[in-house]
Amino acid sequence: MPTDSLPPQAPRRRSLLQALSLALLPGSAALAQTDIPDSWPQARQVPGGVARLPLGPAPERPVVHSGDIPVLVLGDSSAWTAIVGIPLSAPIGQAHVSVQVQGGAPTRRMAYQVASKRYSEQRLQVAPRTVDLSPQDQARYERERDHQQQVMATFSTPLPGPESLHMRAPVPGRRSSSFGLRRIFNGQARNPHSGMDIAAATGTPVAAPLPGRVIDIGDYFFNGGTVWLDHGGGLLSMYCHLSGVDCQPGEQIATGQPFCRVGATGRVTGPHLHWGVMLNRTMVDPALFLSA
């Protein structure tokens, strides 16, 4: 769920790859400093960003983990790439993934660097009841949080071949709030905004940015009407505050197919779409998947 909505006590949690032109030292990943426009998502090795780690050729898809969480691997036998979501809470400096190539080769660690990024901050004074939950609301939130954590753990068969993850915006409209914005309500810090808010009128159709399977539909305390799509390999997307849902769990949705409608449900002040993108169970900036 959008982590900026969590109460304070809730837990926080680059064209073919440049693999042939970038030398890989054992246990480390060469860092691409310039994005190649036709590589999606774009690489931004910052908290809330994405690392594209060239794994080189292998007969079968390597198995990559960030900690104990599986990571999306795309490509083919000539060149594989790990697409790693970097948590907003990630410390600056070196991070790593583990790589297991099929066929008995030992697991190796691949390091990459996380650079700093400063996101905007907003301080607001609001009615206390909007930030302090009643015991009943807190209990409901905790039940819903536990359920959605199970949804977030979905890891299905990764997309086949060197698929592009270039997304289309799910609705047209002005970006009303960007990823990473930290809001401070009445002096109380909330987790950074974990998605992109797009201003649109109630009832505006929401279209799938990539092919996906519906894995969850719900009406949640903070998120209101919500749909989760699974795009494969731990790449998920979330759509919140909906006024209507036009799909069913398990349904396959094609790119550009409308499947829900913008609304103002849940804890919001007006109609908009909250759109989140998740990789290896961490929310990342949806803008990295979009053309400018």
**Are residues 181 and 277 located together in one domain of the fold?**
yes
Instruction: Tell whether 160 is covered by a domain.
Output: yes
Contact 23, 31 (CB under 8 A): no
Among 101-110, 172-181, 280-289, the range scoring the smallest mean pLDDT is 172-181
Q: Which two tokens stand for residue 162?
A: 């060197």
Give Rg (Cα) of the chain: 19
Instruction: Tell whether 10 is covered by a domain.
Output: no
Contact 280, 84 (CB under 8 A): yes
Instruction: Tell whether 83 is covered by a domain.
Output: yes
Instruction: Tell whether 34 is covered by a domain.
Output: yes
**Are residues 101 and 128 located together in one domain of the fold?**
no
**Are residues 88 and 226 located together in one domain of the fold?**
no
Domain holding 27, by residue range, is 18-114
pLDDT digits (tens, 9 = 90+) for 92-144: 999 999 999 987 677 899 999 999 988 777 666 556 666 677 888 888 888 98
Find the helix or strand (DSSP H, E) in which 279 lies.
strand 272-279
CATH number of the domain at 37, please. Answer: 2.60.40.1590
Domains in the chain: how many in total?
2
DSSP three-state, residue 67: coil
The beta strands (E) that lie in 103-245 are given as 108-114, 121-124, 175-177, 182-185, 188-189, 196-199, 205-207, 212-220, 224-230, 236-242, 244-245
CATH number of the domain at 240, please. Answer: 2.70.70.10
Return d(Cα 109, Cα 281) in angstroms, integer: 20
Residues 6 or more apart whose Cβ sits within 8 Å of residue 211: 231, 252, 253, 254, 255
**Are residues 35 and 132 located together in one domain of the fold?**
no
Find the helix or strand (DSSP H, E) in which 79 lies.
strand 79-85
Instruction: Tell whether 257 is covered by a domain.
Output: yes
CB neighbours of residue 271 within 10 Å: 18
Bridge partners of residue 217, in order along the sequence: 227
Among 18-32, 103-117, 253-267, 274-288, the range scoring the smallest mean pLDDT is 18-32
Contact 90, 114 (CB under 8 A): yes
**Are residues 123 and 110 located together in one domain of the fold?**
no
pLDDT digits (tens, 9 = 90+) for 185-236: 656 666 676 889 999 999 999 999 999 999 999 999 889 999 999 999 999 9
Return d(Cα 222, Cα 63) in angstroms, integer: 35
Domain finish residue from 69, 92, 114: 114
Find the helix or strand (DSSP H, E) in which 150 lies.
helix 135-152
CB neighbours of residue 249 within 10 Å: 11
71 alpha carbon, distance to own chain's centre = 12
